Amino acid sequence: MKIKLLLLAGASIVCAAVAIAAEKGSTKEGSKRSISLPAPSVFLKDGPGMDETRRYCGICHSLDYITTQQKFPKAKWQGVVNKMIKTYGAPIPDKDAKIIVDYISTNYGSGK
């Protein structure tokens, strides 16, 4: 009986914490919610494909995931972008995926 009460109390605390966390930093607008994100702290090198790379890659992770990697060859970057699309569900159209791979391999890759 004590275990059930402890589990119920723990679940209540977790639910309350989740509800409070969901409200912090969010604004309700009818049935929509929006959040305010901090300004980016990582800036990509200027060049063709920078906007697409920032737009699509920045949806899921910080751009320093790109800027701090080893200087991989283009084939490796192609594999990474494909994994993001196929495994993690990144919403990147095929034409933009090619632009992103070209941009990253040129600016942060080995150039091969």
Give the tens place of pLDDT for each residue, 36-95: 877 767 899 999 999 999 999 999 999 999 999 999 999 999 999 999 999 999 999 999
Question: Quick one: pLDDT at residue 98?
Answer: 98
CATH code of the region 50-108? 1.10.760.10
Question: Quick one: pLDDT at residue 8?
Answer: 61
Q: Which has more confidence, 96 or 29?
A: 96
Q: CA nearest 111: which of 83, 74, 82?
A: 74
- Indicate the range of 30-34, 81-85, 91-95, 102-106 predicted with least confidence: 30-34
* Domain boundaries along the sequence of the chain: 2-35, 50-108
Beta carbons of 35 and 25 less than 8 angstroms apart: yes
